[in-house]
Structure 1
């Protein structure tokens, strides 16, 4: 299925917002700071990273490495952007400690699972909409608005075939007799 450039841009923007938001939140949680211009640069980098891949459905096997790589780049960018390197931050320098690596891996894995699930739901919805739209178009072609048959003067007599064996059970109960 061919997708429009605007659809690709929206999908890559969603990926950029999720991945940059994850990196910025984790960086702030660890005691770092993120400036506004650096956040805009990170969003642009995330969007450019995902744009070539935004034209088709992807699985966890594609999303996870892309997200982990982008998280590593954003971690280095945010660490380099500190006015005073290492001040009030969970680690000094660019090499994270074991705890930070575990947290980055856990957050990236969880986010990748979330994005992969959203990816699957989005494409399934688009496939269903395409099938539904195709059925609507085909039924409109099969049944034109103005039929060519001549109208009948007498209406059909409708027989309640389905209701002839139905029991009436509505209303108050019948009279109760005592013996």
Structure 2
């Protein structure tokens, strides 16, 4: 099932709000001040553009978490360059900060990203499940309506995920020729 533009935009905006919100909250928690407003706007624009391009179909949890992690790294770099709290994502020892503080920031980013990515992936799975159910019901109701009106329902596409069963005469002969029947008379009862 492919997503059309309105669904892509809604999913992309939801992903962007969660992704950029997570990055801004992380920077506020790390340094008390958030990134510059131009950096937040640029980050939102970049994430929504990437998300629209990736939102063409259902994505696996691994893909959702991977995209969120990549976006978090880019946003962290952007927010660090804008003069916001935090330094670029690395494990270097900076002035007044030991290796533990840098490692702690990386672990905090990864933990928050994994939890949020799992949450987004569950929402993605639920959304597509609902869309498949609604689509299947709509096709069934439309075929019933067409049957009531006397139209041929054979022209409708099959419900998503199901291939139409077409049994041609040559296919039927092939299937029957390779069918083995092991049924015979019952065996006598063992005494």
Query: Shared topology, TM-score over 0.5?
Result: yes
What whole-Å deviation, never above 9, does each CA across 1:124-145 have from its counterpart, x for those lacking one?
0000000110111112122249
Higher-RCO chain (CA-CA 8 Å, sequence separation at least 6): 1
Q: 1:53 to 1:94 in 2, by over 3 A?
A: closer
Q: 1:66 to 1:142 in 2, by over 3 A?
A: same
Compute the displacement of 1:66 (Å).
Answer: 1.1
Q: TM-score, normalised by structure 2?
A: 0.67
What secondary structure is seen at the aligned counterpart in 1 of 2:40?
helix
Residue matched to 1:28: 28
When the two chains are superposed, the root-mean-square deviation of aligned CA atoms in Å is: 1.9
- Whether 1:17 aligns to 2:28 is no
Q: 2:140 aligns with which of 130, 135, 138?
A: 135
What whole-Å deviation, never above 9, does each CA across 1:75-131 have from its counterpart, x for those lacking one?
111111117xxxxx4x55653601000100000000110010000000000000001
**Which consecutive residues of structure 2, in runs of 5 or more, have no partner in the other structure?**
92-101, 151-191
**Which consecutive residues of structure 1, in runs of 5 or more, have no partner in the other structure?**
84-88, 146-179
2:73–2:89 CA contact under 8 A, matched in 1: no
What secondary structure is seen at the aligned counterpart in 2 of 1:30?
helix
More helix by share: 2
Q: TM-score, normalised by structure 1?
A: 0.71
Q: 1:109 to 1:94 in 2, by over 3 A?
A: closer
Q: 1:134 to 1:77 in 2, by over 3 A?
A: same
